[in-house]
Structure 1
Amino acid sequence: MRFHDPDGNRYGIPTYPLRLAPTGLATRRQLRARGLRPGGQEIAAQLMWRHSRGIAVAYLYRLELALPVRPMTPARWRAHDAMMRARRTCPECRRDVGYVLRTSIGTCEPCDTTTTTSALAAA
């Protein structure tokens, strides 16, 4: 098996193929699904597998060292709302458009000149 390196000799840390990690280890997503977070612990191991764009890696953390997810306080909710409001505000017309602006365009749809120009060219 190409990605089976439990001693970490080849890749520097213990490495396992996809779906073959030992029990007691979990990815960030798996921790989050259990209501946990890594809590500052070091990466214990990694998963590696072939992906269409090359080799993919997912880091594994020890379940026994994981901490509970911090609850959302009113201050954290306010900070989150402010961050999302900034992502929804068009820099051209300064309106909250109600959706997150696409970074490829950078403005709301009414202010976007590329779609109006391409729509006119297509007509």
Structure 2
Amino acid sequence: MTTTALTNPFLDALGARTGIRVEFYDPTGCRYGFPTFPYRYAPKSLATRRQLRADGLRPNGYDPVAQILWRHRKEIRKAYLYRRDLAASKRVASPAQLAVIERMLIARRTCGTCGITRDYYIPTRTGACLICETGGTR
């Protein structure tokens, strides 16, 4: 992917017209060492992990090619961007895997003392439900 494909015409024109440099706009990676975009200004050909997941995709083992930086309160936050054209479809769990997951979740809700399956997860520090736990109020 070329750097010209990563540029944003609006942000380029803004900088040329006003002389104001947008803080987190660095499509070449000269300033931040990695192509960087401000929040909501990344090219449509790039997506975060969450955006890929919403589209039913995954990064497919490829490294991120750019990043988004933004300020939140007093810290700078970062999200990595992956190429959509290299993403693969999400893997689907087999029926056997789903059955194992369901049994594991039931085991997390089963009390180790009384053996009753509760409608909440048993605390791991005690291994007992809230009724069996000493000093429990239920």
TM-score bracket for the superposition, by shorter chain length: 0.7 to 0.9
1:85 is aligned to 106
CA RMSD in angstroms, aligned pairs only = 2.8
Cα distance in 2 between the residues matched to 1:58 and 1:92: 45
* Residues 36/111 of structure 1: CA separation in 2 closer, same or farther (3 Å cut): same
Asked whether 1:43 is paired with 2:64, we answer yes
* Cα distance change of structure 1 residues 110 and 51 upon mapping to structure 2, 3 Å threshold: farther
Matched residues in 2 for 1:66 and 1:27: separation? 11
- % identical equivalent positions: 49
TM-score, normalised to structure 1's length?
Answer: 0.72
State the TM-score, normalized to the length of structure 2. Answer: 0.66
Unaligned runs of 5+ residues in structure 1 are 117-123
Post-superposition offset of 1:7: 1.6
The number of residue pairs the alignment matches comes to: 116
Structure 2 match to 1:121: none
Structure with max Cα Rg? 2
**Residue 112 to residue 59, structure 1, CA distance change in 2 (3 Å):** farther
Superposed CA deviations along residues 30-85 of structure 1, whole A, max 9, x for unmatched, are 11111111110111111111113622211111000000111121122123224423
Q: Which residue of 2 aligns with 1:22?
A: 43
Query: Cα gap change, 1:55/1:102 in structure 2, threshold over 3 Å: closer, same or farther?
Result: farther
Selected match of 1:56 from 49, 67, 77: 77
Structure 2 unmatched runs, 5+: 1-21
